[in-house]
Amino acid sequence: MSVKKIKGTWTYDFQYEGKRYRKRGFRTKKDAIQAERELYIDLSKGGQLANDITFIEYFERWIKVNKVDRVSQSTLNRYYSALNVFEEKFGSILIKDVSQLGYREMLKEYAEGMFLGGRKEGRTKESVKKLNNCFSQAFKDALNERLIYKDPTWNAPIYEKKAAMSEKQKYLSLKDYQLLKQTASTKSHLSYLAIYILIATGARFSEVQKLKRVDINKSQNTIHLRGTKTKSADRHVAITSKDMKHIIDVISSKPLHKDGYIFNTGISLITNKAVTTAMRNILAKNELKSDYGLHSLRHTHASMLLGHGFSIQYVSKRLGHANIEITWRVYSHLLDEMKSQEDEMLDSKLSFF
């Protein structure tokens, strides 16, 4: 390695693994030596670092290569949301400059409710874990490519501010569920129709969002849900004739779009946020607990069916689960409660033997 003074400023000039590294313009010899040493350490630890690549540039490309057309739309949206969080925090920082301390600070601020418009109540440990998982995969790949020589996500603590909902908190009471459905039937707004179909089918929001008119089968009282996760998620779900009539009436009052999507607003497909806001407004106006998410409708639908004696196999297929084990795992607490009730019935029902 060599440091020289050229035309009034100091320059370092050396070769590493057959490639020449040279930079001029340092005010003092000490500055040039320090910069030369830092670059040499970087090269020896992680190969030639991508000094001019921002993390946002890398992450966008990483998502396109590794996630687009390989994961569900809801999962893909999570990665793009993570990208937005990172950009809000760090802007166009170079990938090699992302520090462990700065990264952990971002996770903590996210847990406290910062970014993406803010959330006063903060976020749960599960939400922060999902955010960290998005970045962790990308940074590990960058490390493997020798774009960086240390992973800022390593051993990152998962913070939380908002406690996760208990199993009981994930469900609406039957009374509130019925009131929500009845209120959703009073207006022809797209958000109200989405709520109504979510309640009637137990579908995921992304499945309802992408419904087309051809998916509504009036003669058989079924709705074709295309699914977003697995082959088993593509299914035809039966609904009552009363529900079908209401759905047809609302759809018939709406303009027909060329793409056939029922929930085309004229600008884009209706968003999760818009439907969630409409649902919470209905609950709040009726002085009911209003911090539920749309997935609570799916949980409540399943619990209602199980409570009315529908088999776990039927519920599993209706929900589009990949296998019945998933249904057992998600609703095990309900099934345990039902077993306890049935055990209590045993004495009265079989005591005559």
Give the ranges where the chain is alpha helix by DSSP (H).
29-46, 55-66, 73-90, 100-111, 125-144, 174-184, 190-201, 205-209, 241-252, 272-285, 295-307, 312-319, 324-330, 332-350
CATH 1.10.287.3510, applies to 168-343 = no
pLDDT more than 70, % of the chain: 86
CB–CB of 109/115 below 8 Å?
Answer: yes
The pLDDT value recorded for residue 325 is: 86
The pLDDT value recorded for residue 324 is: 85
The pLDDT value recorded for residue 211 is: 96
pLDDT tens string 252-298? 999 999 999 999 999 989 998 899 999 999 988 888 877 788 888 99
CATH architecture of 55-144: Orthogonal Bundle (1.10)
pLDDT below 50 — which residues of the chain?
A: 48, 164-168
The pLDDT value recorded for residue 6 is: 87
CB–CB of 164/129 below 8 Å?
Answer: no
The pLDDT value recorded for residue 344 is: 57
Q: How far apart are CA 36 and CA 3, in angstroms?
A: 8
The pLDDT value recorded for residue 348 is: 60
User: Long-range contacts for 143-147 (Cβ within 8 Å, ≥24 apart)?
Assistant: 143/46, 146/46, 146/47, 146/48, 146/49, 147/46, 147/49, 147/50, 147/53, 147/58, 147/95, 147/96
pLDDT tens string 30-39? 888 888 877 7
